[in-house]
């Protein structure tokens, strides 16, 4: 049976955001500092309509308004965080988008049969937004026609012509955005355009007569977040911030843990003044690196635990999430890449103690497995095949730990049936486990993060951890690389 731990982090902020998806049957009285957004949405009558926002990569309903028999209603109450919002019909279909800025006293008139004909009065940001939507829509239609003509071009001259027209269209859109930022630098739309924009890679430059091929990459990376303020909570209420963030880590940040830590540290410290963006990013990075895609990146999660959660940010968590975060951190502390592996002095099939550190070998593979685990029954013979074919001749040792002392009969039977010879087959006796618990010592399952089977580690001659949780073939490739003579 394969056992896999499922790890979830629920921050109170996220729970609050989820709670906001429920329509509000009643609203608080309007105050001068609150919002008063009247809405007329024909032909809807005697029904609830909703206002929603983007939230990271998702969407959430944040307020409701009841339309009377004249299709008139109002969103009232506390102010909303600025960003990109949308009006939602009773059938939960988005009618149109609008901007919510600091001034939240304006009116909306729209028709569900003509979604693009809505009119907003009393909001400068929405005036700017509507003008931009009109311009980009008209420009987009022209560019689509040019794109179609480009693909139908029969001569190189035509292809060049339409390609240049398309490029000019893109340039016109960019110019429109840049001009708006200059004319209205404090507008919400300027903030959105600054968040959207991505640097254009410059040509390779010459340094001391030689081409610097990495210059375009460095330039884009260094300017990727120009004019973006990470403490701005409005970033969460855009449909493009988190996608841009993911692209940045995917294309411009090395997957090496220390590089990731530098970026995460910068973003979190920059976002710290934000009421919502900071806990959101902390949650995002925690969820990403608590069970990372690549080996060794759990070091990023430990950095988050030691530098944020352990220094007080666990107040953001509910009790269950706090326990999950803390337990997971303690399970990873002792088995980071480059650290000496935890000592193992376990009992073999004959009752003899076998010390992991007593094994002399250039490499040692440590495998924690369960004789009744279906996946183990597939992987263990594969491991033995690799051992017989290559590793045994290289002096590689295999230290195989049966994690269930109650399964010793099945364990020994499987060892015999699969002819798993020349391995070190060990388990922990009940007496040893009881003594360990009495002394308050961590178990080997915690020290080696054994929450699923099989769990594998590769150790060097000094029993330092050089790899974990890779495939058998990846272990073999790493051993081959390590054994190559250094030039």
pTM (2 d.p.): 0.85
Confidence of residue 63 (pLDDT cuts 50, 70, 90): very high
Boundary residue ending a domain (175, 196, 217): 196
Exposure string (b/e) for 223-258, b if CB count within 10 Å is 16 or more?
A: ebbeebbbebbbbbbbbebbebbeebbeeeeeeebe
Tally Cβ neighbours within 10 Å of residue 137.
11
Task: Name the pLDDT band for 487 (thresholds 50, 70, 90).
Answer: low
20: in domain: no
- Tell me if 26 is assigned to some domain: no
Whether residue 132 is contained in a domain is answered as: yes
Residue range 308-323: mean pLDDT, rounded: 86
How many residues make up the chain in this entry?
487
pLDDT band at residue 317 under the 50/70/90 scheme? confident
Same domain for 223 and 143: no
- Domain boundaries, position 457: 345-483
Q: Which residues pair with 436 in a beta bridge?
A: none
SS3 464: strand
Identify whether residues 232 and 284 lie together within a single domain. yes
Instruction: Please say whether the dihedral angle defined by the alpha carbons of residues 403, 475, 391 and 362, taken in this order, is positive or negative.
Output: negative
- How far apart (Å, rounded) are the C-alpha atoms in residues 459 and 448? 12
Considering the domain architecture, whether residues 478 and 352 belong to the same structural domain is answered as yes
450 and 349 fall within a common domain: yes
Tokens 């509507």 belong to 130
pLDDT at 123: 96
The label of the residue with tokens 């699923």 reads 452
Q: Is 370 part of any domain?
A: yes
Q: Are 308 and 403 members of one domain?
A: no
Instruction: Tell me how far apart the alpha carbons of residues 423 and 481 are, in angstroms, rounded to a whole number.
Output: 23
Q: Is 445 exposed, middle or buried (0-12, 13-18, 19+ CB in 10 A)?
A: middle
Is residue 25 a part of any domain in this protein? no
Residue 6 has pLDDT above 50, yes or no: no
d(CA 87, CA 100): 12
354, part of any domain:
yes
Q: Are residues 86 and 70 in the same domain?
A: yes
Give the chain's mean pLDDT. 91
Pair 437, 314 in one domain: no
Based on the fold, state whether residues 351 and 266 are members of the same structural domain.
Answer: no
Please check whether residues 96 and 147 belong to one and the same domain. Answer: no
pLDDT at 24 over 60: no
Whether 349 and 478 map to the same domain: the answer is: yes
**CATH at residue 439:** 3.40.30.10
Per residue in 185-220, pLDDT (tens digit) is: 999 999 999 999 999 999 999 898 899 999 999 999
At 96-154, the pLDDT tens digits run 999 999 999 999 999 999 998 999 999 999 999 999 999 999 999 999 999 999 999 98
The answer to whether position 360 is within a domain reads yes
Question: Among 335, 362, 377, where does a domain finish?
Answer: 335
pLDDT at 28: 42
Per-residue pLDDT tens for 351-367?
Answer: 999 999 999 999 999 99
- Identify the burial level of 136 via C-beta atoms within 10 angstroms of its C-beta, where 0-12 means exposed, 13-18 middle and 19 or more buried: middle
Q: What percent of the chain has pLDDT over 90?
A: 85
Q: What are phi and psi of 168, to 5 degrees?
A: -65, -35
Indicate if 460 and 364 belong to the same structural domain.
yes
| Residue that wins the pLDDT comparison between 31 and 161 | 161
**14/78: higher pLDDT:** 78
Looking at 335, 356, 391, which one is the last position of a domain?
Answer: 335
State the CATH number of the domain containing residue 49.
Answer: 2.60.40.1120
pLDDT per residue as tens digits for the range 395-437 = 999 999 999 988 889 999 999 999 999 999 999 999 999 999 9
Asked if residue 23 belongs to a domain, the reply is no
Instruction: Domain count for the chain, please give it.
Output: 4
Based on the fold, state whether residues 238 and 311 are members of the same structural domain: yes
Is the predicted pLDDT of residue 26 greater than 80, yes or no?
no
Residue-wise pLDDT tens digits, 229-265? 999 999 999 999 999 999 999 999 999 999 999 999 9
């Amino acid at each position: 049976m394969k056992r896999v731990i499922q790890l979830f982090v629920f921050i109170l902020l996220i729970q609050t955001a989820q709670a906001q998806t429920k329509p509000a049957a009643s609203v608080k009285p309007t105050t001068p500092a609150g919002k008063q957004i009247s809405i007329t949405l024909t032909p809807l009558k005697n029904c609830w309509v909703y206002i929603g926002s983007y939230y990271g990569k998702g969407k959430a309903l944040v307020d409701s308004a009841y339309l009377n028999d004249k299709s008139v209603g109002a969103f009232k109450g506390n102010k909303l965080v600025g960003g990109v919002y949308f009006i939602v019909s009773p059938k939960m279909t988005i009618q149109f988008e609008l901007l919510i800025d600091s001034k939240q006293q304006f009116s909306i008139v729209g028709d569900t049969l003509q979604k693009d004909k809505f009119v907003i009065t009393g909001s400068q940001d929405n005036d700017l937004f509507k003008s931009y939507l009109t311009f980009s829509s008209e420009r987009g239609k022209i560019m689509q026609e040019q794109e179609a003509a480009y693909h139908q071009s029969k001569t190189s001259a035509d292809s060049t012509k339409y390609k240049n027209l398309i490029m000019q269209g893109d340039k016109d859109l960019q110019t429109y955005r840049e001009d708006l930022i200059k004319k209205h630098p404090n507008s919400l739309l300027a903030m959105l355009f600054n968040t959207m924009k991505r640097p254009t890679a410059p040509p390779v430059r010459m340094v001391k007569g030689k081409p610097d091929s990495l210059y375009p990459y460095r330039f884009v990376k260094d300017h990727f977040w120009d004019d973006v303020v990470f403490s701005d909570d409005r970033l969460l209420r855009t449909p493009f911030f988190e996608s841009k963030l993911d692209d940045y880590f995917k294309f411009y940040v090395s997957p090496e843990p220390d590089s990731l830590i530098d970026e995460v540290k910068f973003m979190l410290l920059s976002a710290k003044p934000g009421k919502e963006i900071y806990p959101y990013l902390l949650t995002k990075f925690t969820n990403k690196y608590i069970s990372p895609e690549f080996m060794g990146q759990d070091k990023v999660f430990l950095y988050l635990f030691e530098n944020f959660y352990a220094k007080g940010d666990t107040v953001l968590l509910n009790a269950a999430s706090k326990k999950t975060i803390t337990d997971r951190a303690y399970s990873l502390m002792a088995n980071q890449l480059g650290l000496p592996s935890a000592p193992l002095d376990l009992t073999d099939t004959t009752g003899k103690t076998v010390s992991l550190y007593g094994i002399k070998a250039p490499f040692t593979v440590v495998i924690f497995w369960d004789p009744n685990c279906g996946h183990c029954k597939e992987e263990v013979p594969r491991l033995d095949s690799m051992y017989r074919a290559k590793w045994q001749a290289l002096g590689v040792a295999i230290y195989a730990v049966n994690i269930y002392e109650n399964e010793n009969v099945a364990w020994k039977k499987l060892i015999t049936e699969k002819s798993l010879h020349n391995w070190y087959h060990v388990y922990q006796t009940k007496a040893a486990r009881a003594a360990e618990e009495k002394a308050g010592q961590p178990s080997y399952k915690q020290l080696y993060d054994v929450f699923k089977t099989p769990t594998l580690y590769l150790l060097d001659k000094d029993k330092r951890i050089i790899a974990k949780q890779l495939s058998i073939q990846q272990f073999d490739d790493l051993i081959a690389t390590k054994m190559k003579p250094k030039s």
